[in-house]
Amino acid sequence: MPELQTKKKVLSLIQPTAVPHIGNYVGALRNWAGMADDYDCVYGVADLHALTIRPEPPALRRQSLEAFAMLLALGLRRGNNVVFLQSHVPEHCQLAWLLNCYTQFGEASRMTQFKDKSTQHADNVNVGLFTYPTLMAADILLYQADYVPIGADQKQHLELCRNVAERFNGLYGQTFVVPEPYIGKIGSRVMSLQEPTKKMSKSDPNPKGAISILDTPAEILKKCRSAVTDSEACVRHADGKDGINNLMTIYAACTGKAFGEIEQEFAGKGYGDFKNAVAEAVVEELRPFQEEYRRLLSDKAYLIQAAAEGADAARRLAAKTVGKAYRKVGLWDGRR
């Protein structure tokens, strides 16, 4: 009989305290549902990670529910995909403690994100902020993920995860899959609407700089109209036209049109017409997602059921890994 071919596994978690922007959406999020054709995917809301900044409890509960609804609205409950909330799966904390004992202090202290966060939150430099990367490693290793989509700011964390997994495997034999960064289709690099030489960011202090995937049509139009451009008043992609290049990138990502087509479409037209068209294209791109998101948020019973089912599925996977790792280090399970 031919050998059964199993799909590789991809894991990705999102923070509940920051709403993704249009760059996140066209560059990654809208492609996640289709990944089920080629991979078994594990998607989660990283609500435990959010605790490092001590969010207001009512706000965190609301944001976690909304983030979970966002994942479902992307159509991720397909095939063998698992969608869950991190805090609903205790194994994340169980494995995180074990991995703390196999992570060297020097490794953790070199994480640049810890240094950055410590500066930003100087009044709350807690141990959780320091051990954040080991919880992230537990998130990944729990599900034996082969691939993890990461941004530039998370490369160090994935490398630490790989080091810890290799160290543990070297000591106790094969226990964890050593994950690789996921390199998918190269998405559009969307820049800030107000500072087009900088990448669009969820944490941009200027609210006009980023288009949230939950912005209303009126908000999207207002942000596009206020986008920084230049004085040439000609829609063309060229060096030195960072603002227009960025708007063309967004328009191309939402319409599928090439830059040459866009230049022809707006030949002889001003920036006002172009900005309006960009806003309309973004609104239409986000419309199906936003409609499904609002529908899901109005159905609390469904969200509760989906969260419970997701947690059950995640725990079935996670418990196997924790049990195996515990046995490897000598913890007694009380049965033999």
Delimit the domains of the chain by residue range.
Answer: 8-186+299-329, 217-294
Cβ–Cβ < 8 Å for 144, 165: no
Residue 1 is predicted with a pLDDT of 37
- Which helix H or strand E contains 252, and what residues bound it? helix 242-255
User: Beta partners for 11?
Assistant: 42
Helix 300-329 and helix 57-73: axis angle, to 10°? 100
Q: pLDDT for 240-285, tens place per residue?
A: 999 999 999 999 999 999 999 999 999 999 999 999 999 999 999 9
Mean pLDDT, the chain, whole residue set: 92
Q: pLDDT for 109-157, tens place per residue?
A: 888 776 677 677 777 778 878 888 999 999 999 999 999 987 766 788 8
Q: Span 217-294: which CATH code?
A: 1.10.240.10
What is the set of active-site residues? 117, 199, 202
Most confident of 22-26, 51-55, 87-91, 132-136: 87-91
| Count of CB atoms situated within 10 Å of the CB of 70 | 24
In the chain, pLDDT over 90 holds for what percent of residues? 78
pTM for the full model?
0.91
Q: Is the pLDDT of residue 5 over 90?
A: no
Q: pLDDT for 202-250, tens place per residue?
A: 888 899 999 999 999 999 999 999 999 999 999 999 999 999 999 999 9
CATH domain 8-186+299-329 topology: Rossmann fold (3.40.50)
Provide CB contacts within 8 A for 42, sequence distance 6+: 9, 10, 11, 12, 81, 82, 84, 143, 145, 314, 317
Residue 109 is predicted with a pLDDT of 81
